[in-house]
Structure 1
């Protein structure tokens, strides 16, 4: 949008003014004419087709009928007051009903006149009718906008509607805006890209998206605008990555030394999988280039990410640097510390734990050891980013479950050395490929897509509420074998809005079925003091209790190999990624493990799809793809905290092919013209100068 008129404040558009401008800014973040033109329709009503009344049925999304209004009558009183019309064509008649604007409609509707009637057919008492239809006088000689076209539908709000800015009101503003700017609109993408990808011009796409005359034009406009949006996101991300590589030199790890080799040859408790070997090799190559590494490692729970991270930290230590690992919770930090300490033994290198609970005396000793270089590896929580935590020579940083940290928190670790340390961020939440290309497009991504040999797949089953006695019996059988059971609830206390079995009521039920002294139960939820929570966790870890009743606080950070059963109450209320994370709490030992998904007897279509997916597959990446389709990118665990771009028209769940095409195109451009100095790329340079490349997660997110 090179034309200056697109940056004109919205209040100066004909038909807006100060009051409407104010509500447009607050409700839709529309500040300029350009913002308005990028407020695209979210669906279209096909007004090119007419139905006969005999074809009308209540399952239709909408129906357009050409007929005559034969009668109009006001019936009922007060709240029951309504306007009822009879509408007829040559195949029959139907009742039209209005509950609002009755006086105005009585004056404006003409009995006996021909109308185009459009609305959603509904059924009441066996009769099909249309409530609040749109009525347009039919004139055979002329075709008006909104009649015989693909009619756009724009998102609006109740506040906007009070200012007559419903979908039709917004469409009128779009028409006024295009009349002003259309002639001055300039192309935003180089001509060779339009030709190569067979894209409609920008001005024509903008006209067709708001006022489509036929379906083919509309589809071409949508594809053009989606491609452009995804292309420029990738251009910014990959340009950012290119600049970071040039700007930030990194520590060079050119030695594979004694500590790494000793661990690999003597201390590894099991052989690395091929996927683990591949990722270790990628890290070794990255850290030997002289540029700072920014790599995301993703893999399912139990895939061995922590061992890979430890080997990378040993590589740093062999080259004379310190390393640290930051986890989002004390429980997870303690778990990492215990696991890594047992793998390292007492003599390979020094390792300490720093959390909010670390006593002051121990904290001072850790600070001293860090600064004099005698401490090799520090594991901790947010405590690591405090200003008083100073390293002698930090060279490698691992961030676990990175989506739980804000960008600024991660950046504080990044600044702990004059030369930024290499960054390895890990997540056990599998990220769909499309989301990874957008959220982490400026990072290198490694995937550990193999589980260690000997792991038995977790058996997942779905039971309805009326099958609960069977579940209790199964729990008793597993406990009798010496196993332990998790029971997870979505809420702590009863919610008036959600009909859920909440933790407190569930606990009472379990205490009746599993009474003392035969059975002992631990309780953990997010509202408990940290000390109480840790105490209850430890009782379960030590095997002093057989059942752990919890909320989703145990989603990350509990490792109890003896726990073989995960029961998730009201599982239909959880997102797929969360269900998958919870399931990963079991299956950590040699015994067969089970995940039981409990639900109410009535399931929504989405709820059924989620549970069917969980039962069918344990592939985290397949689950993440389904979750993206069901919930959209903004809702998937942690993505909003990571600064995901709010897109105007593209959809990461459905536009994978366009995204892949756009990213490949950007990569090819940088391969042939790394500095974008060729004249044919002047438009791309202009775009980056105006809107890039500062994406909020630019360095390590």
Structure 2
């Protein structure tokens, strides 16, 4: 049993009280002593080096100076009020300025006293100045948790700073909390794991992370807590998988039957790639085990995931079961429906489409045919999981772009049959290996890493605004060859009105440059009704229009092999993943295709990296790795559904090796002691009682 000290409300901590406790809860989610001591620094400052005033320049980072206070005064009134101090050392003078917390700082200042000041130096009229520096009285004595060699820096907010809870203020609270409860922290990792990976005790690791006495001590503490955090994530996920394989029985698909075989031999319009064959074989093996399949299929845009899904759904139909495919948008669901209908003859297998726009009479027919078993395959949006939708015998469910569905939405699909259906999750968003292990660690993973034969790599070019006429000329060349063009505008500040205005400006420009009757334009955006979107889409699909001006609603689910050019306006505003998805709308036919990234002249460093990456490579997994490095795991799509990405200390961009070792260790534990009967694993039993991930303290009862 863990100590109750760590569960003590933070209001009782010395230096907090009710008001500060409330703001700590609201701003950064700290409720208890335990929450506070796992609020880790995001960087450290080397406080061992002092600069002389004459040595400093504007290019230096944050630095500290030992000075004597010469004068200070309050200048101005109300909004212009500020505290200005002059400080000197034996080489020069520096001005210190505070615009907030003036009363508190003023009480701390004393003429002719020596102070250590720390901050970022700027120069005003040639004179060194430091705004809102940290300041403390200089003392030759060693202060245990004050003027540290490696000073922790904590994230704060403007509201916290109003309560003097900047990084320095949080550091003081941290010292008080650790004094009160560090001795109560108990171990979670079994002793044999600590020994194998040279990890230190938890209480020592947490203490040393906040107040390290050396760089080496800090590195060991970080390594210990990173391993523990990633271990616990993998432990929960793999235990969940173990429980699922033991608890949830699955229907057995014994036969490779008539429909699967006939489709493969007579209807399939192209040869499967070796990667597609391998994934179908893996699914086939899963469906013969008698346990529910949960498999993720990753495949880059255009790799042929939909055909794999269709063939495995036919496998279910051959064994007397129904199948469904759930997509996140009506556009994508409709596209899947038309694609599958195009591959199947009308009398080969019964298939229907159900979305929020389906008419009442069509819904009634679908509902009846689902319940009596006449309908074999249902394609649709989240409308599939609504209560009126009842299957006679759902045996196989495909979820496309699953990161767009909530956990509860997916769970509803499971409950559509007495024996849960086999689940195939598909994503065209390439996920770095480290992120896949964290987001989908409880799933079996298949990879379609080949493109169909005959596909030519898309040529990507980056053009600036002053090269727009060159872009127009290239569009006209391609249209003259009988090709079609997409032009995509960004969603600005998630505002439909702004987005629509931006797009309509583009329509005006295109209409002037590409006038009737020689050219025709389709327009698709989020403000259109489903029927209007479908009408515009079909005009483009049929070749009645040569140009589609659209927002990102066409990011997934549009398949027009004749479209050979994708133009992305303000491309610097898009993330790498979205740019790659949009590019994947072309390159679906045998002809050479192109992606043109239009941007302004001024680009941020990250914006330039994104556009350069797109020009350099078509490899979705390489792009995903760079995206992870640029954005961090917290911003990768799907994070909000996973509940796993609120990492306190581990960083998936740099801690791949730790993650791999942690996962390997968890697998070994479950192989040797699946029920955790070993006394050394008893604490891990308590971990299972909590649904949260991250560093576990005494929150486990």
Q: Provide the TM-score with structure 2 as the length reference.
A: 0.94
Aligned to 1:47: 47
What is the SS of the residue equivalent to 1:325? Answer: strand
Is 1:429 aligned to 2:429, yes or no?
A: yes
**Partner Cα distance (2:493, 2:641) in 1:** 27
> What number of residue pairs does the alignment pair up?
694
RMSD: 2.4
* Pairing of 1:603-618 with structure 2 (within 5 A): 603-618=603-618
Using the TM superposition, give the Cα deviation of residue 501 of structure 1 relative to its aligned residue in structure 2, in angstroms. 8.9
In structure 2, relative to structure 1, the CA distance for the partners of 1:347 and 1:101 (3 Å cut) is closer
**Cα distance per residue 1:174-203 (max 9 Å; x no partner):** 111111112222222111111111112101
Using the TM superposition, give the Cα deviation of residue 62 of structure 1 relative to its aligned residue in structure 2, in angstroms. 0.6
Aligned to 2:249: 249
Using the TM superposition, give the Cα deviation of residue 299 of structure 1 relative to its aligned residue in structure 2, in angstroms. 0.7
Using the TM superposition, give the Cα deviation of residue 382 of structure 1 relative to its aligned residue in structure 2, in angstroms. 2.1
Aligned to 1:380: 380
Aligned to 2:27: 27
What is the SS of the residue equivalent to 2:640? Answer: coil
Using the TM superposition, give the Cα deviation of residue 103 of structure 1 relative to its aligned residue in structure 2, in angstroms. 5.8
Using the TM superposition, give the Cα deviation of residue 592 of structure 1 relative to its aligned residue in structure 2, in angstroms. 0.8
**Partner Cα distance (2:583, 2:193) in 1:** 46
**Partner Cα distance (1:19, 1:106) in 2:** 23
Between stretches 368-377 and 495-504, larger displacement belongs to 495-504
* Pairing of 1:189-588 with structure 2 (within 5 A): 189-491=189-491, 502-588=502-588
**Partner Cα distance (1:693, 1:135) in 2:** 38
Using the TM superposition, give the Cα deviation of residue 526 of structure 1 relative to its aligned residue in structure 2, in angstroms. 0.3
Between stretches 586-595 and 325-334, larger displacement belongs to 325-334
What is the SS of the residue equivalent to 1:597? Answer: strand
List gaps (5 residues or longer) in structure 2. 695-701
**Cα distance per residue 1:566-608 (max 9 Å; x no partner):** 1111111111111111000111111111111111110011111
Between stretches 66-75 and 273-282, larger displacement belongs to 66-75
**Cα distance per residue 1:126-155 (max 9 Å; x no partner):** 443222222222222444633242111222
Aligned to 2:699: none
Aligned to 1:698: none
**Partner Cα distance (1:286, 1:484) in 2:** 42
What is the SS of the residue equivalent to 2:624? Answer: helix
In structure 2, relative to structure 1, the CA distance for the partners of 1:428 and 1:142 (3 Å cut) is closer
Aligned partners of 1:245 and 1:291 also within 8 Å: yes
In structure 2, relative to structure 1, the CA distance for the partners of 1:493 and 1:578 (3 Å cut) is closer
What is the SS of the residue equivalent to 1:502? Answer: helix
**Partner Cα distance (1:80, 1:17) in 2:** 32
Using the TM superposition, give the Cα deviation of residue 226 of structure 1 relative to its aligned residue in structure 2, in angstroms. 1.3
Q: Provide the TM-score with structure 1 as the length reference.
A: 0.94
**Partner Cα distance (1:493, 1:132) in 2:** 32
**Cα distance per residue 1:88-125 (max 9 Å; x no partner):** 33444433333345565555423333221211111334
Aligned to 2:698: none
In structure 2, relative to structure 1, the CA distance for the partners of 1:624 and 1:680 (3 Å cut) is same
**Partner Cα distance (1:338, 1:104) in 2:** 69
In structure 2, relative to structure 1, the CA distance for the partners of 1:281 and 1:495 (3 Å cut) is closer
**Cα distance per residue 1:521-560 (max 9 Å; x no partner):** 1111001122222111111111111111111011011111
Using the TM superposition, give the Cα deviation of residue 635 of structure 1 relative to its aligned residue in structure 2, in angstroms. 2.0
Aligned partners of 2:357 and 2:530 also within 8 Å: no
In structure 2, relative to structure 1, the CA distance for the partners of 1:516 and 1:490 (3 Å cut) is same
In structure 2, relative to structure 1, the CA distance for the partners of 1:685 and 1:397 (3 Å cut) is same
In structure 2, relative to structure 1, the CA distance for the partners of 1:284 and 1:623 (3 Å cut) is same
Aligned to 2:682: 682
Between stretches 76-85 and 565-574, larger displacement belongs to 76-85
What is the SS of the residue equivalent to 2:375? Answer: coil
In structure 2, relative to structure 1, the CA distance for the partners of 1:500 and 1:221 (3 Å cut) is farther
List gaps (5 residues or longer) in structure 1. 695-701
In structure 2, relative to structure 1, the CA distance for the partners of 1:148 and 1:269 (3 Å cut) is same
